[in-house]
Amino acid sequence: MTETEIRALMATFGGAFRAGDADGVAACLADDFVWRLPTGTGDPQGDVLHGKEAVRRYLRERFAPGQDGVTFSDSRMEILGDAVLVQYRVHGSADDGSPVDAVGLDLFRVAEGKLRLKDAYWKQVSWPVS
C-alpha cells in the first residue's frame, strides 16, 4: 500500500472509532485481524481479540450507552512501510472507577487495504505516596 492509501485507511478507522461505529471499524479490518489490548489479566500479551467479528462484538459493548467512554487526544502518526505507529493521550476511567490519564502507543500492521494488527500499549504510571 502507498502512504496515501495507508493514511486514508487510518483516517477511516479513526473516524469510525471516534464515532463509536463498530461496523465502520470492522470494515477497515482483515478477517484475521488481531488486537492486543493494553490491559488484561494473567497474560503478558494482555487481552487479545482474534478476528474482525470478535472486535465488532467487543466494540459494540464498549460503545454501548452508559459505558464510561475514554477520550483520545494529542495523536501523532508515523508510517514505516507496512507498520503504522500512533502516539496519543488517553483519558477515562478504569473498571474500578479510578481515573486513567496515560500516554499510549499503538502499532498497526497493514496489508492489502486492511488493518491486520493493532498492538496497543499504555504507560503504567504509579504516583509516589507522600
Kindly report the CATH number assigned to the domain that includes residue 65: 3.10.450.50
Three-class DSSP category at 53: helix
Residue 38 to residue 104: CA distance in whole angstroms: 9
- Answer yes or no: is 46 within a domain: yes
Give me the half-sphere count of Cα atoms (radius 13 Å) on the Cβ side of residue 41.
1
- The pLDDT assigned to 21 comes to 92
- Answer yes or no: is 33 within a domain: yes
- The pLDDT assigned to 70 comes to 74
- The pLDDT assigned to 99 comes to 81
Cell of 61: 459493548
Q: Which pTM was predicted? A: 0.85
- The pLDDT assigned to 44 comes to 74
- Answer yes or no: is 129 within a domain: no
**Residue 113 backbone phi and psi in degrees, to 5:** 80, 10
Domain residue limits at 115: 3-122
- Answer yes or no: is 130 within a domain: no
- Answer yes or no: is 87 within a domain: yes
Three-class DSSP category at 80: strand
- The pLDDT assigned to 97 comes to 77
Mean pLDDT in consecutive groups of 10 residues from the start of the chain, 130 residues: 96 91 96 90 81 94 70 90 95 77 94 96 71
**Residue 85 backbone phi and psi in degrees, to 5:** -105, 130
Residue 116 to residue 109: CA distance in whole angstroms: 5
CB-CB neighbours of 95 under 10 Å: 7
- The pLDDT assigned to 95 comes to 67
Structural domains counted in the chain: 1
State the DSSP code for 67: S
